[in-house]
Amino acid sequence: MRRDWGLVQEILLAAESSPPNTSFSNYFKEDLINPDAASKERMSLLRSHFKLLLDNGFIEGTAGALMQISGLTWKGHDLIEHLRSKQL
- Find the CATH number of the domain harbouring 40: 1.10.10
Higher-pLDDT residue of 36, 73: 73
Contact between 71 and 28 (Cβ < 8 Å): no
pLDDT of residue 42: 78
Task: Report how many domains make up the chain.
Answer: 1
pLDDT of residue 56: 96
User: Tens digit of pLDDT for each residue in 62-88?
Assistant: 887 778 888 899 999 999 999 888 865
Is 63 strand, coil or helix? strand
Domain, as residue range, for 59 = 5-86
CB atoms within 10 A of CB 27: 19
Contact between 40 and 27 (Cβ < 8 Å): no
Helices (H), 1-88: 5-17, 29-33, 37-55, 74-86
